[in-house]
């Protein structure tokens, strides 16, 4: 396994012992076209039994959540009201320790299950799990929508952390999640009862370590996968983007994205569905004969979410 770990580290030239260093690099564009026969892709999924899925912000934009870096609509482009020294400061640990207000206002708006719901992309991942095909789901996203869609937490590796737990930024004392949610919704600043430090959800800020599980699971699950599906990411932020190159060279890889990214197109069994992610997932489920299953999972879960919100 050490060979695989070194390969992941080498793919991230700025990896510093697993610290999120705000690394963003221009991906190598290997080809302008990619094999996109939806019938062949559906057949591959049908025959696979150990699928790894990785996703980025593009998966959640259909739920109304903007990505981070789009020039006009991204989160970083719309933070003027917080008067930050620079946009990334809202997710910097040292800045939060002295100025938690900006992040707390942002967290109130984007707290999972309040203003945003899972979309068909999230339910497709849940469907892969129900069909016994999902080995592991890796995500850059911190919105928690895959959890809200019902994906088993044991199948999820949230590389950049989660809103499902919280802790003190000073002493790391765990903090009750319901208390944090209630306080954020009431515009109160959550404070540690043990040391009076500021509390935040356990999402990974710049300057914090990525979860150890990310590296351990990425090595093992990708090595033994028979298909990797990459959804809605630019593959520019490392070390997460390095996952895409961890499967064996002949392992099938499927890109569901607006455009070709990363090393897709460079391997013999690469395929892609380019364009609108939601439409491509619907078309894929139709070919698989899963359309009714997808609709049923979504309707049943949305009813459950509505009941829980009452």
Report if residue 151 sits inside a domain: yes
Q: Beta strands of the chain (E only): which ranges?
A: 51-55, 134-139, 156-158, 161-168, 174-175, 199-203, 227-231, 252-257, 270-274
Q: How far apart are CA 224 and CA 247, in angstroms?
A: 7
Q: Of the residues 160, 181, 200, 253, which is catalytic?
A: 160
Report if residue 49 sits inside a domain: yes
Q: What is the pTM of this model?
A: 0.85
Neighbours of 83 (CB within 10 A): 8
Report if residue 173 sits inside a domain: no
Q: Tens place of pLDDT for every residue, the chain, 310 residues?
A: 333 343 444 344 333 334 444 443 333 444 557 899 999 999 999 999 999 999 999 999 999 887 666 666 556 666 777 788 888 888 999 999 999 999 998 899 888 878 889 999 999 999 999 999 999 999 999 999 999 999 999 999 999 998 889 999 999 999 999 999 999 999 999 999 999 999 999 999 987 888 889 998 998 999 999 999 999 999 998 899 999 999 999 999 999 999 999 999 999 999 999 999 999 999 999 999 999 999 999 999 999 888 877 6
Q: Which domain covers residue 135, as residue numbers?
A: 2-65+116-160+204-309
| CATH number of the domain residue 133 falls in | 3.40.50.1220
Catalytic residue check, 160: yes
Report if residue 138 sits inside a domain: yes
Q: How far apart are CA 227 and CA 247, in angstroms?
A: 8
Q: Find the helix or strand (DSSP H, E) in which 127 lies.
A: helix 120-130
The total of structural domains in the chain comes to: 1
């Amino acid at each position: 396994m050490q060979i695989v770990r070194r390969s992941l580290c080498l793919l991230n030239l700025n990896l510093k012992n697993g610290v999120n260093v705000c690394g963003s690099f221009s991906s190598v564009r290997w080809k302008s076209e990619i094999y996109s026969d939806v019938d062949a892709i559906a057949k591959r999924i049908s025959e696979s039994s150990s699928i790894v899925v990785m996703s980025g912000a593009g998966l959640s934009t259909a739920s109304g959540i903007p990505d981070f870096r789009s020039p006009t609509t991204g989160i970083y482009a719309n933070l003027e009201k917080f008067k930050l020294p620079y946009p990334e400061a809202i997710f910097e640990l040292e800045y939060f320790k002295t100025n938690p207000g900006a992040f707390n206002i942002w967290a109130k708006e984007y707290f999972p299950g309040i203003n945003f719901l899972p979309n068909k992309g999230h339910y497709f991942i849940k469907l892969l799990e129900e069909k016994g095909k999902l080995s592991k789901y890796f995500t850059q996203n911190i919105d928690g929508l895959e959890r809200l869609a019902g994906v088993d937490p044991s199948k999820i590796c949230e590389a950049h952390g989660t809103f499902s737990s919280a802790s003190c930024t000073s002493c790391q004392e765990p903090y009750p999640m319901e208390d944090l949610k209630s306080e954020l919704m009431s515009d109160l600043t959550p404070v540690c009862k043990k040391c009076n430090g500021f509390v935040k959800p356990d999402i990974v800020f710049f300057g914090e370590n990525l979860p150890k599980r990310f590296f351990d699971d990425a090595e093992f699950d990708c090595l033994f996968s028979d298909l990797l599906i990459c959804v809605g990411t630019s593959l520019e932020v490392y070390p997460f983007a390095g996952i895409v190159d961890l499967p064996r060279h002949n392992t099938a890889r499927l890109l569901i994205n607006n455009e070709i990214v990363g090393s897709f197109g460079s391997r013999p069994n690469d395929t892609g569905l380019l364009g609108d992610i939601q439409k491509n997932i619907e078309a894929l489920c139709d070919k698989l004969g899963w359309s009714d299953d997808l609709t049923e999972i979504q309707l049943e879960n949305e009813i459950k979410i509505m009941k829980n919100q009452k």
